[in-house]
Structure 1
Amino acid sequence: MSTSNSNSARMRTIFRSKTSKTLDRMEDPRETLDDSYDQQVKLLQQVRLAVADVATAKKRIELQGEEMGARYQRLGAQAAEALAQGREDLARAALERRAMLEGQVAQLQQQFTALDRQTAQLQDRERRLTDQVAAFRIEKETIKATYTASEAQVRANEAVSGISNTITDVGSSLDRARDRVAQMQARAAATDELLASGVLTDLTAAPDADIERQLAAVSAQAEIERQLQAMKGSSGQARGATERPGPDGWLSIGRAG
């Protein structure tokens, strides 16, 4: 029962680890920052469009107010001219229309004042939001650069770790190769000695090669004895046999004089 629980806990740990790694790969903070920046830029564009719309409405009211102001002045002039001509009725009608126009102008002035205040507020928000977006962009790029550098360092460290493991494996392979070479060299030297001593038979040698080697050894020994006797018989001859004048004297070593 405890073994089963231990296996289950191990599986849960492995699953959480794999899930965490998958989420890390899926959720790149650089992409998240870019998305947030794009959203803020879109909001800033909306605020700028609102400022433009309010400014347009304000300008329209301003033009309408100028037109109504011109009419107000014209009605006043018409009332004065009608009164001068003795047409009090026309003067009264012009003044009545001007009075009605005053009410309309008053309402227009209220709208213009409200739009002017709204425009100032939106412009202030647009400036603050522009500063915030600019500051966020700088911080975003800084964080992205830091993350990219850290990611590169992690890859480099992992690569170095992999190289270290590879070097360890290569070192082990070299040690095994050196051991095999040393063993093979020792075996070659041992077989050479066994062949020389006659314990092993050289299958590639000519027939009766062992007899020839023994005869060669006896002949060499006899030659040494002959030279020794000659040296004992005549010291001058011994000097003549051992001394070869000239720089090419070595060429005659081993040859019969």
Structure 2
Amino acid sequence: MGLFKRASDMVEAKVSKFLNRLEDPNEMLDLSYEKMLTNLQEVRRHLADVVTEQKALEAQMDKAEKEIANYEDSARAALKLEREDLAKEALLRKQRETEHLAQLREGHERIVAQVEKLKDTEHKYRDRIESFRTQKEVTKATYQAAQSQVKVSESMTGISKELGGVGATLQRAQEKTDQMVARANAIDALSEEGVLEDPMDKRDRTTRELDDLRKQAAVDSDLERLKKELGKDN
């Protein structure tokens, strides 16, 4: 029985040590800090993705503006050659590209707003992480001091008089950890917000025909303007 009792005591001591290690506020605080850093990296990756989309839209806008200018030049050249049919075709393409450019600009405005929002989120989250890091180090130092005091007291009196203080320190560390993890999760949720929706044409046939007539009227008006500029007004 004596041998079995000693073996049982050893197992119990190891289990107790393992459980104490799991409840160590130093480890809990470090894990929470690492989680917050991971979330910050996620925010930054999402920000980089949105900025990439912004740059891509800006490139498309530049291309559309050049296309519009090219169609204008083509229409002028066609009129000089008395090819009104080609001029009208060029102006029709110009009109389409102008509408495309308007859509790009609208999307660009939404992305710019999203980028600014993510930048603000990243800045605030970074400040919170730095504040948490400072609190973490203070808490760890407090816990280490409490542990040292417990060991000194136990070695001198054989009685653990500081268990209540250590328990309170553990509770404070857990409460601060829960608060910071909740903040981290709230900030992380912002990075999962969508940026743009795919455009869908839901117009009925009548609306499309009216839009086509409007485009044609705009082309005719543009054509008359160019004719007047080139002295081709009939």
Q: How high is the TM-score relative to the length of structure 2?
A: 0.58
Using the TM superposition, give the Cα deviation of residue 64 of structure 1 relative to its aligned residue in structure 2, in angstroms.
1.2
Unpaired runs of 5+ residues, structure 2, are 1-14, 159-234
Match for 1:48: what amino acid? Answer: R
Q: How does 1:121-140 map to 2 (within 5 A)?
A: 121-140=117-136
Using the TM superposition, give the Cα deviation of residue 26 of structure 1 relative to its aligned residue in structure 2, in angstroms.
3.2
Using the TM superposition, give the Cα deviation of residue 25 of structure 1 relative to its aligned residue in structure 2, in angstroms.
4.6
Q: SS of the residue aligned with 2:93?
A: helix
Residues 1:26 and 2:54 aligned together: no
Q: SS of the residue aligned with 1:86?
A: coil
Q: Name the structure 2 match of 1:48.
A: 44
Q: Name the structure 2 match of 1:99.
A: 95
Deviations 1:99-133 (A, max 9, x none): 01111111111111111111111111011111111
Match of 2:69 among 64, 70, 73: 73
Q: SS of the residue aligned with 2:139?
A: helix
Q: Name the structure 2 match of 1:111.
A: 107
| In 2: Cα distance, 1:108 partner to 1:155 partner | 69
Q: How many residues align?
A: 145
Q: Name the structure 2 match of 1:218.
A: none
Greater than 2 Å deviation, 4+ residue runs: 19-26
Q: How does 1:115-194 map to 2 (within 5 A)?
A: 115-162=111-158
Deviations 1:166-192 (A, max 9, x none): xxxxxxxxxxxxxxxxxxxxxxxxxxx
Aligned Cα root-mean-square deviation (Å): 2.0
Change (3 A) 1:48 1:22: closer
Q: SS of the residue aligned with 2:82?
A: coil
Match for 2:154: what amino acid? Answer: E
Deviations 1:26-66 (A, max 9, x none): 30011111111111111110000000000001101111111
| In 2: Cα distance, 1:154 partner to 1:62 partner | 64
Bigger-Rg structure (1/2): 1
| In 2: Cα distance, 1:150 partner to 1:79 partner | 85
How many percent identity over aligned positions? 38
Match for 1:29: what amino acid? Answer: P
Q: Name the structure 1 match of 2:85.
A: 89
